[in-house]
Structure 1
Amino acid sequence: MTPGTRQRTWATAARQARRAAARHKLAAAIVAVCAAGVLAALALASSDAPGPAPAGDPAAAAFSLPVLGHSGRQVSLAQYAGRPLVVNFFASWCDPCKTETPLLAGFYRDEHAKVAVVGLDENDALGHALSFTRADGVSYPVGWDPQTSAASAYGVAALPQTFFLNARHRIVDRVYGAVTLAELSRGIALAIGR
């Protein structure tokens, strides 16, 4: 082997070693990014998981808003003192809200003696909000909250969200997204203390 050949062999080996190291660094970076993404998704999912509120059942924030379609009337948390309450945050432009509203309207028609329902229309134009609730046969009180003050007080970042309050107005359950019949049944059972 001549000195030039030996030099080319060492140069080739060094190049291959650098390439292998670069591939290992790239693979490690990809694994790190994927792991960070999985951890972030798990953290987000656990913080937004539906189900009973943490121990201590936080108190519901007070609200007082104009009733949609009833000039001069207000709906407030205080009006329901001593009664379990379902508080649903929604908007006419929210597709999942369109899915859950008939379920809530039907529940209210059949069961309003057991548990009261209040809808809070968030960040919506008055005309759209009125059309939306009338089209779905909503007969429970709906507070109009175009400035999202109630949603902010409850920590609502996305619609819809439904809160279940016991008679002392402690939050006993919360559903992120369109509420299902099973979630509605579970939340009501918790609210009335079954």
Structure 2
Amino acid sequence: MKKKVSIFLIAALLVSGLSFFYLQNTATKVAAEVGTEIGMQAPGFSLVNMNNQEVSLSDYRGKKVFLNFWASWCPPCREEMPDMQKLHEEYGNEIAVLAVNIGESKSTVANFMMQNKLNLPVLLDLNKSIAQNYLVRAIPTTYILDKDGIIIEKTFGALSYQSMLDLGGIEK
């Protein structure tokens, strides 16, 4: 009788231990930690666009996102903007291009966009809080997010059009 009870207890402990391990492992796959490193869930935010509409990062769930932090006074930022425009025009259905302007007024950004014939989506981070949340230390800084909002790439400096395609996993 003691042998049957012992076997039962061992089996019960084994099943509960395996169940605990499975649940722990499943939970980590479902919800990634929020942060700014590759493999982490990108921090959520809401900002106003050039049409004074509030836009949230969560609005793009289900779509890859090319999230770029920039300013009009930054030479490398100005250098990559035509390629970002091209990416938006040619692959906007495949990857959402979001250009987050850091700390400049709407009129300054509007003038820059008009002078350079750009119409890609721009979000205004007037108080620089989103750039701070994303630990932006140099501009341009670009994050590529997968369809679930997980950071799959992070890069600093101006990108060429081909680099944008490569980082975004876009095939011509």
Same fold (TM over 0.5): yes
Partner of 1:185: 165
CA drift of 1:61 comes to 0.9
Partner of 2:66: 86
Asked if 1:58 corresponds to 2:40, the answer is yes
Partner of 1:113: 93
Kindly report which structure 2 residues correspond to 1:28-67, keeping only aligned pairs within 5 A, or say none.
Answer: 54=38, 57-67=39-49
Query: 1:175·1:183 contact (CA, 8 Å) conserved in 2?
Result: no
Q: Cα RMSD (Å) of the superposition?
A: 1.7
Q: 2:153 aligns with which of 173, 182, 190?
A: 173
One-letter amino acid matched to 1:133: M
Partner of 1:127: 107
Identity of aligned residues (%): 28
Instruction: For 2:116 and 2:145, locate their aligned partners in 1 and report how far apart those are by CA, in whole Å.
Output: 24
Query: 1:89·1:159 contact (CA, 8 Å) conserved in 2?
Result: yes
Asked if 1:162 corresponds to 2:145, the answer is no
One-letter amino acid matched to 1:118: L
Instruction: For 1:138 and 1:86, locate their aligned partners in 2 and report how far apart those are by CA, in whole Å.
Output: 16
Partner of 1:145: 125
Consecutive unaligned residues in structure 2, runs of 5 or more? 1-36
Runs of 4+ in 1 over 6 A off after TM superposition: none
Query: 2:87·2:161 contact (CA, 8 Å) conserved in 1?
Result: no
Once the two structures are superposed, residues 118-158 of structure 1 have per-residue CA deviations (whole angstroms, 9 ceiling, x without a partner) of 11000113221111122233322211111111111111011
